[in-house]
Structure 1
Amino acid sequence: MKVQELDVCMIRLDLENYRTYHNASEPDALRMMVQVQGKKIVELAEDIIENGLSPIETIAVVPEKDGFHTVIEGNRRITVLKLLENPSLAGDTSVEKAFSRLKPEFLKNPIRKISCAVFSDRETIMKWADRKHGTGLGGASLDRWGYVSNARRSADLGDYNRWIAALDYLREQGDPIENAELEIDRLQIGALITRIFGSEYLSKGLGVTIKSNGEVSFENGDDAAGRKLLKQMILDLIARKPTTDEYRYKEDWVRFFKEFDSLSVKKGASTSQNPSAETSTTDTNPSGARSGEGGGTSTDNDGGTTGPSGPKQSNDDGKGKRRPARRRSDRTKLVPKGRRYSLHILNDRINDLYHELLELDVSEKKSGVPNVGAIMIRVFLDLALTHYLSELDVPLDTRSQSRRGASSWKDIGVSLPSKLNAALKDLDPNNSNKTLKPARQACNKDFHHSIDVLHERVHDLDATSPTHKEVIEVWDRYHPLFDQIFEKLTNAGK
C-alpha cells in the first residue's frame, strides 16, 4: 500500500459497491448511490464543505490499466465530490437541487485532488473495510451497512443467505430481477425474507434446494421451471410489502409457499402438499446473532414439548382473521421461548441480557425471583428504547432538550415515558397497530404494567412484591413492542 495524491476526476466509483449492488456503468452507480442514500448524501456534502474530508478516514483505491483508479472504500465521499462539481449527475431529483444550492459554497474552496491509499487488490482493502463498518452515526459520518449489504458481504465470503443465492442464480442465468436488493432494502424486509426462505418447505414442498455456498438446484432438474418459480416468489414478496405480523409463524411461511405449488419443481409434484411435512425451520442470520431457541423441536419453560413454532393453538378469531398466538402465562421463566416469540438482537449487551432473562425463574418456587424479574423488565425496556432511538436517528423530543438539557437519547435526563412515546410515534405514527396498544397504555398509571409501576418496583421501599403471574403478564404486554423494535433494528443492520 502507498499513499498518493489523485485527481478526483481520475477516480471511478465501484460498480460492485455493497451499498449500490450491481451496476453496469459509473453513471448508474452514482444514480443508485443517490437513490439509496437520499438526504444522507446531502448531509455528507454539507459536512465536507464545512469541515473538509476527514483526515482519519483515508479513501482506498485500486489502480486500473487505463490510468484511472477505482474507489473501494470511500464511494459516498467520491460521489459527493463529483456531484458538487456537476450536480446534474444526480438527474432531476431533490438531491440535484440540493447540490446546485451547495455548489457555489464548494467552489470557494474546491476539493479536486485528494490523498488516497492505493492498494494492489480489492480484498486487501475489504479486510479493513470489514472492521470499519460497525457504526452508524447519520449521514455526515460512518454509515453502517444495512441488512441487505451485510448479507451480500456474507455471500462474498461464501456464506449465502438463500434469497441472495437465488438472486445471484437468476442473474447468472440471464434472468435477473432488476433492483430487487434495492427494493428489499428500501422496504426493510431482508430479515423477514430470510426467515421465509429459511423454511424447509422450500425444498420439501417445492423441490428447491439452496445451499449455504450459494448452489441452487431443482429436484426434477428443470432449470427453466425453477427460475420461473424463484423469480415469481421473490417478485411476489416485494409486491406484497409483507410485515412481520403477517409472516410471524411457520404456518404463515408454509401458506405462502403453498400458493406456488402449481409451479413446484419436485419430482411428480402434487398440488396438495401437506404443510405438516415441515418438521423444522432454519433461521439464517448473516450477523450471527443468537436466536432465543433451539432447533426443530423445543422444550417450553415448564418442560413440555412444542413444535418449531411453539405450542399448537388456533390462531383464528372465529371471523376468518388471524390473531397472535397467546403466550403461556403459567410458564416459570420470565421470557417465553419458541421460534414465534424469539427476539433477534444485534447489540451484544442487550442480546446477552435477553438470553439471561430467557433462563430467569420468576415462579413462586424457592428458586424463583419475581422481584428481580420485575426490575429487569424496567432495565430491558429502557435499554431497548435507548438503542432503538439512538441507532435509527429518531429526533430527540423538545421537552427533553429544553427542560432537561439533554442532547441525545442516551443522556440520563431523558425520561422513560419520553423514550416510549418517541418510539411508538416512530413505529406506529397513526396509532393503528393494535398489538402496540398495551405499550401505549404504559403511560397510564392505572395499568399494572405502567411505567409508574415499573419505577415503583425499583425505587419504592414500600412497594408490594409482584406475583409470578403479574411479572409474566407485564413482560407479555411489552413483548410486541420489543418484537417490533428489534425487527426494525435488524432490518437496518443495527
Structure 2
Amino acid sequence: MKQASMHVASLTLDETNPRYATKTGGLEESIAALLAKDDHKLLRLARDICQHGVNPSDLTIVLIDGGQNVVLEGNRRVAALKLLHNPALAPTEKLSKQFAAIGKSGEFPRRLTCVVAESRIQAEHWIRLKHTGENGGVGVLKWSSGEISRFSGRSTPTEKARLFIEAVNDWFPDDSSLLSDAQSVRDARITNLGRMIADPAVRNRLGISFDGDVVLRSYPADKLRPILVRLFHDLAGPVSVDQIKNKRQREDYLERVEGELPKLADRLEEPQKYSKFADAESVGGNGGAPEAPSDTPPKPERRKRADFEKRLFQGVTLRHVSLRTSDVVEEAKRIKIDEMPNVAAVMVRAVVDIVVTEVANKLGWKRNQDTLKGRIGAVLNQVDPKKDDPLLANAWRFSQEDDGALILKSLHSFVHTWQNDPLSSEVRKLSAAYATLLIKADELLEKKKR
C-alpha cells in the first residue's frame, strides 16, 4: 500500500461498511446510516476535528474502484468532514444546522493523507486488527487505569516551569537581568515557579497557558515584561515557598503586583505560541530529518485553547455593580465551559441580562429597555458611540446585527429552546465577546458615582 493526498470531495463512503445493517445506496444514504446509529458521536467527532484536526496517527484507507476512491477505513471521519464542508448532506434540517454551526467554530482540512490499498483483501487484515480488540497482542492493547493515570499526569508543574523559562528566553533574548533571574529560578527555585504557574488564577492573570509542548502568550511581549521581571526577581530572591504555598497566598501575591500585571484591554485577539520544536517544524530537513514527500499535505494546525478560555468571563471583575450582581458574575466564572456547556450557555445569557438591566435601572434609562437587544444596545451606544472599539466589535455584531454565526437569538435559544444543543465553541465566543461589554457597563456606574 502507498500513501496519497486526496481531496475530501473525491472520497466516497463504503456502501458495504460493516457499521450498516444493510448495503446503502449512495453517499447521502451512507451518511444517514452513520447518523442514525449515533448522531451525537458524529457531531462530537466533527467538533474535535474543528478543534484539533484529523488524527495524524490514524490514516484513512482507500480503494480505487471503478474510478471512485472508496473509503474502506475511516468512514466516520470522512463523513464528518463531508458534513462540515456541506451540511446539506445531513438528512434533517436540525442536523444540517448543527454541522454548519460546528463548521463555523473552527477549521478543518480539505485534503487527507490516505493509504491506497490494492484490494479489499489487502486492507482487511489491518481493518480487522483495529476494530476487533487485542487479538492476543497483535491488535491495539488498551491501557490499564494505572497507565492512563501515568500518561495524564506526566506533564508535571516542574516540566511546565522549565518550558515556560525557555519561552521567556525566546521572548526576551536581550533582557540580561530578566534572563539572569530566570536562570537562577531554573537552578534553585524551579518548583516554586511550577507551583505558581500550576495555579489557573496565576496563569489567567499572566495571560499564559500550555498545550503540550506549546506555551501560549495572550499579551504582547512588552505588556507582559513588567510582571515577568517582577515574578522572576521575586522567586529568585525574597519570595520563598512559604509565601506562595497555598492558593490564598498566591492571590495575595497577585494583589501586591497588580500594577505590573497586563491589562485586559491589551489582550491579543489570538495567542502567540512558543514551541521548543518550532525550528524543526518550520525548516524542512533540519538536523538531517528527511523532507516530507511532495504529495503529502501539511498537517492542519492544531487549534490552541488558552486556559483563560476554559471558564466563563475570565478576567472580568465588576466593582461598581451591586454585591448580588457581582456575586453572580464571580460564581459564573467558576463554570468550566467544556465540562458544563449547557449551564455555561444559560449563564452567559443570564449574566449579560442581569448586568445591563441593573445599569439601565441605576442610570434611569427608559428607552429601549423592552428587549435584551435594546438593553445591550443602550449600553453599547453609551460606551462605544462611534462603533470603533475593536474589543466591542463582536458584541455589536452578535447582538445588534443579523449576520454572523453567533447572534442574539443564540442567547435566547440557550434558555428557551429545549432542542438547542449549545457548542462549547459558541459559548466561548459569546463569553469573550460580552466580557468587555460587562466591564464597560460597570465603568458607567463608576462615572455616575463621580
Q: TM class by shorter-chain length? A: 0.3 to 0.5
Q: TM-score if structure 2 supplies the norm length?
A: 0.34
Q: TM-score if structure 1 supplies the norm length?
A: 0.31
